[in-house]
Amino acid sequence: MLTIRFAIVLRDSNCTIHSINDLLMLLMKSIPFTFHDKLYYALVRFNNKKESIELRVTIMNGDLEKILYGHNIFEYRNGYLVVDCPEQPPLLAELKLSVLHGLDEYFQQHPLNIDHSIKNI
């Protein structure tokens, strides 16, 4: 299992969010990442789960999306981005790692704006 830690900063935002479900239902981000020295983008949809936040990744490139197909779900739990890493083809493992680095860089530069505490994260 691979984990990368990144912070979600709690701060006021211009819009009012009444619950974490409101935020997560509306939240979809375009995340840049580099793979084989080329810049790509992935859409990341956030879903609230019982004890974590699920991140569903869709790569905006047909060839790369085919590689990631079936392995596109990551999880944010207890302050860590968690990815199940069973034995995988090297190209898939490299692509997942590239997406993880893109997520890590994005959230360091663009923290999520949440105006209340989140339980079980």
Residues 6-48 have pLDDT tens digits of 444 334 444 444 555 555 455 788 999 999 999 999 999 888 7
Q: Tokens in use for 66?
A: 């085919």
Q: How far apart are CA 98 and CA 92, in angstroms?
A: 10
Residues contacting residue 23 through CB under 8 Å, at least 6 positions apart: 17, 46, 112, 114
Residues 57-85 have pLDDT tens digits of 999 999 999 999 999 998 877 777 777 77
Q: Where are the domains of the chain?
A: 2-109
